[in-house]
Structure 1
Amino acid sequence: MTLDVRDIVLGYENTPVIRGLSFHLAEGEIGCLLGASGCGKTTALRAIAGFEAITEGEIHVGGKLVSSPNKRVAPEKRNVGMVFQDNALFPHLDVAGNIAFGLRRLASAERERRIRQLLDLTGLTGLDRRYPHELSGGQQQRVALARALAPEPSVLLMDEPFSNLDTRLRRRMGEEIRGMLKARGTTTLLVTHDQQEAFALADRIGLLKDGRMLQWDSPYQLYHRPASRYVAAFTGRGSYLKAHIEGDRLVHALGDSELPDERPPGEEVALLIRPDDIRPDPGGTHARVVARQFQGADILYRLRLDSGEEVSALFPSHDDFEVNSAIGVELDAQHLVLFPADQPSAPSALSSHGAH
């Protein structure tokens, strides 16, 4: 089923929380609302689930209107599944009982068939008689997913689904759950503050700030062609070089490049440099290693150019350079991203999201 959110507005006590939010998910797509705490992403999810009323706009599930200022279909009648942040499993029910909770109207044989199918899908076969307290965090997350999928919802909503798991388990669960959802063709929307989680799970990501959608795009486009410096900072590490236009060339401290679009001669701009946009080149631009961070397969370097500007660079770990050594580098960017020279950078608080 499709999910359409069209220019919705809502707030509390005359304070707007969501301001004209719009996006579309095709059948079987996985979408993500990404943003810092307080940006409105969970409120938007609750509105889609039917827990919050909207004052403007419309929400459609599978082509059917479920929310508008004059209409609000009850949550239980939307055919929307929900996985909550804390899993919200019933402690007095075993795994099979939790999965079966929304299947009470089915005939016994069909209910058992669906439980077995979901136990197999989520890797819980053999654990059906265990209780939540007897399961690991990852197993509890799978039970919550199976319970939400059991009634075969048109759309599945997930609220910070991996926030209670450690980093390694979050990555593994992200891969597993994406595979499960794609196998079933379930249209899904999750919310998270974690850029890596969003990239790993979603086909489409919307970055929210102050209740507004800054960009709704594929993970690739969001990272390589961000619409603003805020988007660039939230979706990954980046540095900026001063640059200006000379004819049809862009001149900067790493040399000069072909202009990505038409711009007036002499215009001053800021060139976004991602760590993977730079590679070592003995005959390239001179740089000095200021700092390095070994990351196993890669090493993240901080390099100072002759202009005094600094950039981050991510090299394979066999390109091993010591701090204070002089090296040559070249720009190897597939997409040059330019911003106005005076556009403000994102707040430093974002570094925790974008520094991975």
Structure 2
Amino acid sequence: MKTLLDIKQLTFAYAQQPLLQNINLTIDAGQVGCLLGPSGCGKSTLLRLIAGFEQPQSGTVMIDHLQVTGDHHMLPPQQRQVGMLFQDLALFPHLTVQQNIAFGLQHLPQEQRRQRTAELIQLCRLQKLNTRHPHHLSGGQCQRVALARAMAPKPKLILLDEPFSSVDRGLQSEMAQEVKSMLQADGSTALWVTHSLEEAFAVADQMGVMLNGQLLQWGTPVELHDQPASPDVIRFLNQANLINGQLNPESRLDTVLGTFDLCNADQFMPGDILQIGLSKHLLQVSTPTEGSKAIINKCIYQGGHHVLTATLTNGDQVQLFHHQSIPVGQSIQLKVSNPQPVLGFAIS
């Protein structure tokens, strides 16, 4: 598959304060990449570097095998063939839907401009709205107009900066899937920035977690969910529990939840204190005669299941899902179903 976006060792500082450190990622043509991270971690700054609004201290950005940034070379934003969908959408209030979409097509002959605009109005389901102005549209309709405008010139890459930050959480996943289907139908490649796990897992072909200006992991959603590369990724994704243990002479990790095989046991010495991540779905309430003791701290109903928070005998806190309510303060037994080899992490 053809690589469309290739970023290598990208570093950026502002007023001598480092904001991005050695960022490496690739996105294949026709795919959607998602960057996850808390506010202030550098996600939007990375988009600005790709678009050409900022210049990095070092590193390269390649778009469709053309170097647009690097080696003291910086291609102007208007020559990068990059479209951008901003948080505030930035629609022109005095222009109609049709005029907003056609705004970036002034360089085309009139007939081609008309055809491309009509194509996007159809693709984004705006047929009955093309003569309306933005203040007569719903939030979701404005999102579709802004996306159509970004796609109109057929840029090689579209950057989306938290496009659903103002949308109700329950609608984020649905709207994200809708936007992804439009991008795919138009053959677009995109880098999508968000702090919403639900949104990212709904659209990403590849995704990564950023924290304090560093890209901690970049891979498929399945890889990040099933094989998180660090405790920080585990904490951010909140899909697994961090459990402490000690490596025994057989290079297996002894924990209060049992003994586990490690994928990377050769990196450690017997006696080392390590952490592992165990998916919340692997923890089960067991019969009184098996498993490890824990005390229930919280029990929250989440529609169809309860989320239990419990404290293990060594003080570690874990979360798991259970079909029925268990009173706070009650003692239970926990076991791990179908344990697989896991990555061990040194405790810093």
Q: Which moved more, 1:40-49 or 1:248-257?
A: 248-257
* 1:254–1:331 Cα contact (<8 Å) kept: yes
SS at match of 2:286: strand
**Structure 1: distance between partners of 2:115 and 2:186:** 16
Counterparts in 2 of 1:131 and 1:65: CA distance versus 1, 3 Å: same
- What is the CA distance between 1:267 and its match in structure 2? 2.6
Report the AA paired with residue 259 of structure 2: D
Out of 250, 255, 266, the residue aligned to residue 252 of structure 1 is 255
Alignment of 1:230-245 (within 5 A): 230-245=232-247
- What is the CA distance between 1:83 and its match in structure 2? 0.3
SS at match of 1:31: strand
* 1:224–1:335 Cα contact (<8 Å) kept: no
Report the AA paired with residue 281 of structure 2: D
- What is the CA distance between 1:53 and its match in structure 2? 1.6
Out of 61, 65, 82, the residue aligned to residue 63 of structure 1 is 65
**Structure 2: distance between partners of 1:277 and 1:289:** 17
The residue aligned with 1:215 is 217
Alignment of 1:20-169 (within 5 A): 20-169=22-171
Report the AA paired with residue 291 of structure 1: K
* 1:35–1:208 Cα contact (<8 Å) kept: yes
* 2:261–2:340 Cα contact (<8 Å) kept: no
**Structure 1: distance between partners of 2:341 and 2:96:** 52
- What is the CA distance between 1:335 and its match in structure 2? 5.3
- What is the CA distance between 1:270 and its match in structure 2? 2.0
Report the AA paired with residue 117 of structure 1: E
* 1:272–1:336 Cα contact (<8 Å) kept: yes
Out of 305, 309, 314, the residue aligned to residue 302 of structure 1 is 309
RMSD (Å) for aligned C-alpha atoms: 2.1
Shift >6 Å, 4+ stretches? none
**Structure 1: distance between partners of 2:263 and 2:22:** 31
How high is the TM-score relative to the length of structure 2?
Answer: 0.90
Counterparts in 2 of 1:284 and 1:123: CA distance versus 1, 3 Å: farther
How high is the TM-score relative to the length of structure 1?
Answer: 0.88
Q: What is the number of residues matched between the two proteins?
A: 340
SS at match of 2:122: helix
For 1:179-205, what per-residue CA distance to the aligned partner results, in whole angstroms no more than 9, with x for missing partners?
Answer: 222233311112222233222221222
**Structure 1: distance between partners of 2:213 and 2:108:** 40
**Structure 2: distance between partners of 1:259 and 1:16:** 35
The residue aligned with 2:345 is 339
Counterparts in 2 of 1:300 and 1:64: CA distance versus 1, 3 Å: same
Counterparts in 2 of 1:260 and 1:15: CA distance versus 1, 3 Å: closer
- Please list every run of 5 or more consecutive structure 1 residues that lacks an aligned counterpart in the other structure: 344-356
Identity %: 37
Out of 187, 199, 202, the residue aligned to residue 200 of structure 1 is 202
- What is the CA distance between 1:74 and its match in structure 2? 1.6
- What is the CA distance between 1:156 and its match in structure 2? 0.5
**Structure 1: distance between partners of 2:131 and 2:66:** 38
